[in-house]
Chain A
Amino acid sequence: MNAGITRLRPATAAGLLIVLFWAAMAAFGPLLAPHADGGVMSAQVFDAASRAAPLGTDYLGRDMLTRILIGARYTVGVAAVATGLASLVGTTLALCAATVGGWTDAVLSRLLDALISLPSLLFALVVVASVGSSIPMLVATAAVIYVPGAYRTVRALAVNIVAMEFVKVARARGEGTLYLMRAEILPNIVLPVLTDFGLRFIYVVLLLSGLSFLGLGIQPPYADWGSLVRENIEGLAYGAPAVIMPALAIATLTIGVNLLVDGLAGRRGGGDGR
């Protein structure tokens, strides 16, 4: 990314700013939060925005801004770790399959294609039903669900590179498979792999907050933005900001990532299913 921020298109710059903002909030949010976590600061539940509580209060009279800032860690952080795992495993397997070829490629591709045909939220529900929804399990579940997608994208990119002359030359030199994967193929597909990471991050955020919204994701006392929408859903009848604000936070995050990815990839972001 050697282009300065001034040379980015406005939409891309906006996406970058939003992503940086939420990343900072995930890291430092709890320090910036105006009220201590869990503190009931007002007798008024589902209050509208006020000077003391800029985003209103939740179903217990807690400050919504504080809740969202603390929740950022769970929505952004957990999704980032899960997506990182999925991309790491998917990319490694894909590079391996593309470089080695033959049976390894055929078996891996067949197996992961079967996994891809499971709708993601459905698969997550089945796994949560059996192993529960502790944070490590949620990370593992989301990672497993999105490995096949990452694998498919990276493999399609890598087979094009493997067919090129310089890879043949490296093979003829007698370089090992690991060297080919790391030094010859990966550097040529870094940007599309990062783009894919961004899109997959969006799917993971939507999946995990969907689960939390159903009450099957991150469990109290921790709360991500999906759980915040769920626990304040009663406030909908009063038009309380407590319901809408966490949902809007998710929307800004996912749209921000999408804008950034679109700009970096130089195309309308695509997708192969959540």
Chain B
Amino acid sequence: MSPLARLLAARLASGVLTLLIVSLLVFLATEMLPGDVAQAVLGQSATPDAVAALRAAMHLDQPGWLRYLLWLRGLLTLDLGRSLVNGLPVASLIGSRLPNSLLLAGLTALVAVPVALLLGITAAVWRGTAYDRVVGVLTVSAVSVPEFLVATLAVLVFAVRLHWLPAMFYGLDLRSPGHMLLVFAMPVATLSFVVVAQIARMTRAALTNVLDSSYIEMAVLKGVRPLRLVLRHALPNALGPIVNAVALSVSFLLGGVIIVETIFNYPGLAKLMVDGVSTRDMPLVQACAMIFCAAYLLLVLLADLLAILANPRLRHP
């Protein structure tokens, strides 16, 4: 096995191990539920026989470790159990919402990443200028402000005062681009706000480190043009940290998605999970949590791999 393949295999194995620990944590967290789930589902008036039957059907009479393994098998075979609230299969509930969330996240990434890279790179190139300081203060503020402030201000300005955009999310019509633009403008802009700030800050930091090194000074002295200097000489060496920043900001995106889907009433996975939490629908909450964690770990893993491919030095740790 080549060193590169071994390194990739090691990263993959550590990712799977982390996901396993996360699944154990999610399972343990939901095990802390006080009281009897079967009793809670059926209500106070249920006969003891009915409760016992449901307990057996939900494997509640089994020891914890066995239930964990059963749950794990269910996750792998997409048999996620049934919702405790409406009895529908969790897999189909999630299946109907997942594409909507992916669409929202994809659009946000499409808008946020280029803007963030542009801001970060220009701030690093013109570091120390007034422009850099303005970008710095704006991004620090954006990171420390709650998403729901951005969302409420956006609704106040664009929907209430200016009447340009709808305040609530009412139905998806994928055929009309104009309609899509109107409907997605505010959720995507709100989400992008925090993500852009985070990526821009990290991009600036990574690129500034590289720009201060002596080989860049050498390139300046030999007369390389500024644009070529940044794009060809500096950026490839900063690519690893930047890709990592993009992947890490996914965790910000995730927190944002939960708030934004709720505030705009967007029919996505995060809204489904929040509703599940308020009705204490544990199978649904567990499954949603695992999907989010898996997506997050997958992106971090991809970023790791990209960084290794972009920087030959990382291939020989």
Contact of B300 with A117 in the complex, beta carbons under 8 Å? yes
Nearest-CB residue, chain B, relative to A130 = B33
A244 at the interface (CB under 8 A from B): yes
6 residue pairs A–B, Cβ–Cβ below 8 Å: A115-B25, A121-B255, A125-B289, A210-B146, A236-B156, A243-B156
Secondary structure at the A interface, as helix, strand, loop or mixed, is helix
Given contacts A258-B144, A273-B248, contact A126 B258 (CB under 8 A): no
| B positions within 8 Å CB-CB of A | 18, 21-22, 25-26, 29-34, 136, 140-141, 143-149, 152-153, 155-156, 160-161, 167, 201, 205, 248, 251-252, 254-255, 258-259, 262-263, 273-274, 276-278, 280-282, 285-286, 289, 292-293, 296-297, 300
Residues of A within 8 A of B22 (CB): 114, 117-118
Chain A residues near B259 (CB, 8 Å)? Answer: 210, 213-214
A121-B258, A268-B201 given; 19 more Cβ-contact pairs under 8 Å: A114-B25, A117-B18, A118-B25, A119-B255, A119-B296, A122-B292, A123-B29, A123-B289, A130-B282, A206-B146, A210-B146, A229-B152, A236-B152, A239-B161, A257-B144, A258-B143, A268-B205, A272-B248, A273-B251
Contact B282 A129 (CB under 8 A): yes
Q: A220-261 interface mask toward B, CB cutoff 8 Å, 1 = contact, 0 = none?
A: 000000100100010011110001100110110011011000
Q: Contact string, A172-213, partner B, CB cutoff 8 A, digits 1/0?
A: 000000000000000000000000000000100010011001
Asked whether, in the complex, the Cβ of B152 is within 8 Å of the Cβ of A247, the reply is: yes
Binding site for B on A (CB under 8 A): 111, 113-115, 117-123, 125-131, 202, 206, 209-210, 213-216, 226, 229, 233, 236-239, 243-244, 247-248, 250-251, 254-255, 257-258, 262, 268-274
Residues of A within 8 A of B29 (CB): 123, 126-127, 130
**How far, in Å, is A15 (CB) from chain B's closest CB?**
11
Query: Contact at A239–B276, with CB atoms within 8 Å?
Result: no
The reply to whether A216 and B277 form a contact with Cβ atoms under 8 Å apart is: yes
For B258, list chain A residues within 8 Å (CB).
Answer: 121-122, 125, 210, 214
Per the bound structure, the CA–CA distance linking A245 and B276 in Å amounts to 30
CB pair A237 B160 closer than 8 Å? yes
A128 to B30, CA, bound (A): 9
A236 touches B155 (CB 8 A): yes
Q: How far is the CB of A247 from chain B (nearest CB, A)?
A: 4
Partner of A126, one of B30, B161, B255: B30
